[in-house]
Structure 1
Amino acid sequence: MTWTVYLSGEIHTDWRERIINGAAKAQLDIKFTSANTDHESSDAAGDVLGAETESFWRDHKSSKVNAIRTKTLLEQCDVAIIRFGDKYKQWNAAFDAGFCAALGKPYITLHADDIIHPLKEVDAAAMAWAQTPEQVVELLSYVTQQ
């Protein structure tokens, strides 16, 4: 069985590549999906629907267009990895975790121990909490073994 793993969360570090490369090295049968990680094109996703004079409405339209991809890929995945970094508040990652919880979709959180408290509810619904991408690869190796 090929597993589909959705990678959600911060876009400013190499955590996605570390998981993807680690899974390839371990020869795991995994297809990875993700939201658009290009900040500029993500912000412009709704521009095709017409120019906006207020940034709120541009962001609103783009978030809805981006949500088509996110919602579809989260519904289709077998497990999601939800990454919370330390540079920015990832409200989108928290939303994705809540969406997974509502769907009954298993997810693994990935974050440092210094944000355990603000993520306590998110972590409580997660199947696991990892602190490194390498731990995620080990978890995926275990759960995808035949």
Structure 2
Amino acid sequence: MGTWRVYLSGEIHTDWRETIMEQSKALGLPVEFSAPVTDHPASDDCGAVILGDESNKFWYDQKGAKVNAIRTRTLIEKADIVVVRFGDKYKQWNAAFDAGYASALGKSLIVMHDPSLTHPLKEVDAAAFAVTETPGQVVDILKYVIHGQLDR
């Protein structure tokens, strides 16, 4: 197939993305990764900084969300696989939206979260092709689907 395109969505407070990318590189997997803007202040402020400030918080957030959506939607649409990580520290409504969007587009969806989030994420999990708990499991899935070989 050549190079696989994997979009890494969700929680931005841990190094899970870097772990997946480093382990995939160490295995020599032909994967190109992409992600949303993970600089939280930049993501929040991009609309108002680029398009003009807003005194009303609703419109301030709307501008940022729409500018960010240009990147997010484009990269999800181009992805072969979408990985969505849910952390337990914050409610990641945007991650749930990304998972739903990817699912609606028919993308192969892998979800990653702690077992304590199984109940609140049951609908998201039901749409996923795999539900994982660790970056290593995601890498193992990538290795398996790319090479078609299972290490026992």
What interval of TM-score do these two structures reach, taking the shorter chain for normalisation? Answer: over 0.9
Matched residue type, 1:139:
I
Please tell me whether residue 131 in structure 1 is matched to residue 103 in structure 2.
no
SS at match of 1:46: helix
| Gap runs ≥5 in structure 2 | none
Matches within 5 A, 1:34-73: 34-47=35-48, 48-73=50-75
Can you list the C-alpha shifts for 1:67-100, whole angstroms capped at 9, x where unaligned? 0000000000000000000100100100001001
1:5-25 residue CA offsets vs partner (Å, 9 max, x unmatched):
000000000100100001011
Give the C-alpha shift of residue 102 in structure 1: 0.7
Alpha-carbon distance in structure 2 between the residues aligned to 1:105 and 1:26: 24
| Alpha-carbon offset, residue 44 of structure 1 | 1.4
> For residues 52-131 of structure 1, what are the structure 2 equivalents within 5 Å?
52-131=54-133
Amino acid of the structure 2 residue aligned with 1:51 = D
For residues 37 and 83 of structure 1, what CA distance do their matches in structure 2 show? 13
Cα distance in 1 between the residues matched to 2:5 and 2:34: 7
Partner Cα distance (2:143, 2:76) in 1: 20
Alignment of 1:1-40 (within 5 A): 1-40=2-41
Q: What amino acid sits opposite 1:65 in the alignment?
A: V
Percent identity, aligned pairs only, is 57
Q: Secondary structure of the equivalent of 2:46? A: coil
Alpha-carbon displacement from aligned partner over 1:26-49 (angstroms, at most 9, x marks no partner):
110000000000001111111211
TM-score by length of 2: 0.94
**What is the alpha-carbon root mean square deviation over aligned residues?**
0.8
Q: Secondary structure at the match of 1:44?
A: helix
AA partner of residue 68 (structure 1): I
Paired residues, number: 146
Distance 2:53 2:94 in 1: 24
Give the TM-score normalised by structure 1. Answer: 0.98
Structure 1 stretches of 4+ with a deviation exceeding 2 A read none
